Structure 1
Amino acid sequence: MHNITRHICLISLLLGSGNGLLPVQAEMLSQESTQQEAQESETEQSGNATASPTTIYKVVGKDGSVTYTDKPQQNAEPLAFDITTQNVVTAAKVTSPPPAKPAAPKPNYSVVIKSPAPEATIRNNLGEFTISAAQPGAPKAPIYRLIFDDAPLASNSSGVFKLTGIHRGAHTYKVELTNNTGKTLASSPLQTLYLHQASALINN
């Protein structure tokens, strides 16, 4: 309605230019009318874009398959969606992994030789003497193993080793702790003993 009124006024000015009206007035009115029309056109388009919904059609095929399209088809079911609708996906909560369990401390096995003392001198013509070992703390290993002169000599669960027939001279020894498969769990320090025997050439 406003546009029609402006056009009538514009035509009146143009017709009246012969009666002394200035053409400049008509031109200004024409420019104002054009600008007003452009603004109203933009407002209408903006309102239509905001309010117009997007129509999607759901088509169910003979085989039961479902297809969605924006083109109308026969036996299609229209689905109206607001264009302002946004697809919001809730992110899955990421749970922190449980803290790693601390590694169990390794058993601290230990063994000491109770007798003889280091650098002990033993006098026995038959070469008999006893080596005794013990475990001062926990846990306890099941097996003691005697290493005599750099070679395994005997194993038992008591830690007491009675030796016989040992030749005179210096001998090295240590006691190890082992499990049932023979794995060494701990070892005593290496010690030395000196075995003395009376000579057969000396009269008793």
Structure 2
Amino acid sequence: MVKSVGLYSRICITCLTLLFALEAVAAKVYVHRNAEGVLVFSDTPHPDAEEISPKSKIESIPSSTPQTYSGSSKQQAQSPQYQVRLVQPIDQATIRDNTGSVYVAVQVSPTYQAEHQVRVLLDGEAVIQPQNRSVFMLKNVFRGEHKLKVELLDANGKVIASSKPRTFYMHRASVIKPN
């Protein structure tokens, strides 16, 4: 019994020694600024990095010259450049639906804000009131060739982005009945 207590003590002391040794090795933290001027903390050294201790207070941070934006303040305040793309129907699609229903799916990137709205144009005319969703269903579209386009509007109703026009063909059963 005495031998087993001594063995457990040795194992515990060995484990604690290894634990403290591993902590001392892992305790090295390096800090540097990347090309964009952002602070980067890492456990691997970098040529411009400074070693810091995670347990001590950071009294100095490596300095860098701040990068200035060369554009005007108007350009900085502008909203992002939106891209609008028609996902459905595909270009030159033939849609066979006797009710004349067409599903329209739109993709806008980056994601538009809540005050923005999407307007669907069929043959150059708005067919649905502008809404803030990206899936629509057009009803009672007549037979024939049609041009579809989608526009993204800002809070004031100004067009800020639009899709390329897309052509589709609607096939419906004839209203003329054979004798």
* TM-score normalised by the chain length of structure 2: 0.53
SS in 1 for 2:83: coil
Pick closer, same or farther for the CA change 1:201–1:138 going to 2, 3 Å: closer
Deviation at 1:105, TM superposition (A): 6.1
Residue 136 of structure 1 aligns with an amino acid whose one-letter code is: S
Q: Which residue, 125, 142, 148 being the options, matches 2:122?
A: 148
List per-residue Cα deviations over 1:34-93 (Å, max 9, x = no partner): xxxxxxxxxxxxxxxxxxxxxxxxxxxxxxxxxxxxxxxxxxxxxxxxxxxxxxxxxxxx
Q: Which has the higher contact order (CA 8 A, sep 6+)?
A: 2
Give yes or no for contact 1:144–1:175 (8 Å, CA) kept in 2: yes
Give the gaps of 5 or more residues in structure 1. 1-99
CA RMSD of aligned residues (A): 2.4
Question: Does 1:108 pair with 2:81?
Answer: yes
Identical columns (%): 31
List per-residue Cα deviations over 1:69-122 (Å, max 9, x = no partner): xxxxxxxxxxxxxxxxxxxxxxxxxxxxxxx98421632111111101011100
Residue 164 of structure 1 aligns with an amino acid whose one-letter code is: K
Question: Does 1:126 pair with 2:99?
Answer: yes
Structure number with higher helix proportion: 1
Deviation at 1:167, TM superposition (A): 0.7
Q: How does 1:39-188 map to 2 (within 5 A)?
A: 102-103=72-73, 104=76, 106=78, 107-138=80-111, 140=113, 142-154=116-128, 155-188=130-163
Give the gaps of 5 or more residues in structure 2. 1-69
| Alignment: residue pair count | 105
Residue 156 of structure 2 aligns with an amino acid whose one-letter code is: T
Which structure 1 residue ranges, 4+ long, deviate > 6 Å from structure 2? Answer: none
Aligned to 1:189: 164
Question: In the aligned structure 2, how far is the partner of 1:184 from the partner of 1:109?
Answer: 11
Question: In the aligned structure 2, how far is the partner of 1:125 from the partner of 1:180?
Answer: 37
Larger Cα Rg: Structure 1 or Structure 2? 1
Pick closer, same or farther for the CA change 1:124–1:184 going to 2, 3 Å: same
Question: In the aligned structure 1, how far is the partner of 2:98 from the partner of 2:116?
Answer: 34
Question: In the aligned structure 1, how far is the partner of 2:112 from the partner of 2:100?
Answer: 34
